[in-house]
Amino acid sequence: MIDLLGTAAAAATVFAATDIDDIVILTLFFVTARRTGRPRPWQIVAGQYLGIGALAAASVVVATGLLVVPDPWTGLLGLLPIALGVRALVRHDDDEAPAVVASTLGVAGVTIANGADNVAVYVPVFRALGPGDSAIFLLVFVLLIALWCAAGAWLGGHPRVVRLVERAGHWLVPAIFVGIGVVILVSSGVLGRLVELLG
């Protein structure tokens, strides 16, 4: 017997705990979309669904034992937001907030890179759940992605946020992406692994 409310609440807790930082990224995407027209709002939403969908799908596959994730090498995904941030800094136009990414796949790539550590949480969760509970988890994830995108769009249209990005966006937005990448590299332990290999 599936405890619908209990399972849905657990799914919401897991999603919120692992994806709270996506609100910042989504807000930046929506601000730059308003300023530069790239990425378009539908691309942001589609990319978020694609990215989190890929993370959830990979977690289900790993949970069933069909694939082994080479942890902490997933931390190398932190290089993606760093590269995007550096590229935006190099190409910046002082009159506009830089479009760090400009496509659905770009948004999905940043979402996957930022959420690679989510797999470590999702895998044991999906391993412990039956098919019915897993379906509820995935449905809740679908609903909460929409809520996250709505929150990012609202924050991205908030006058104070827009003014901040207008004043400092040419360096602030790329710097945040570089910071996210550094956090991913450091927290994943991949830098320590590289030092061991090179040492």
Condensed to tens digits (0 to 9), the pLDDT of residues 173-183 reads 788 888 878 87
Band the pLDDT of 94: cuts 50, 70, 90.
very low
- Per-chain mean pLDDT for the chain: 82
Q: What's the rounded Cα separation, in Å, for the pair 39 and 106? A: 9
- From first CA to last CA, the distance across the chain in angstroms is 54
Task: Give the pLDDT of residue 193.
Answer: 77
Delimit the domains of the chain by residue range: 4-190
State which amino acid sits at residue 32: T
Band the pLDDT of 2: cuts 50, 70, 90.
low
State which amino acid sits at residue 92: H
Tens digit of each residue's pLDDT (9 = 90 or more) over 32-41 = 888 888 899 9
Tokens representing residue 133 in the block: 């509970």
pLDDT over 70 at 66, yes or no: no
Band the pLDDT of 199: cuts 50, 70, 90.
low
| Residue in 110, 90, 95, 92 with CA at minimum distance from that of residue 39 | 110
Task: Give the pLDDT of residue 46.
Answer: 97
Q: What's the rounded Cα separation, in Å, for the pair 127 and 65? A: 9
Tens digit of each residue's pLDDT (9 = 90 or more) over 154-170 = 998 888 887 877 777 67
Sequence-separated contacts (24+) of 125-134 with Cβ below 8 Å: 125/14, 125/59, 125/63, 126/59, 126/60, 126/63, 127/63, 127/64, 130/2, 132/2, 133/2, 133/7, 134/60
Task: Give the pLDDT of residue 171.
Answer: 79
- What does the radius of gyration of the chain's CA atoms come to, in whole angstroms? 18
Tokens 């790993």 label which residue? 62
Task: Give the pLDDT of residue 70.
Answer: 58
Mean pLDDT, residues 78-101: 71
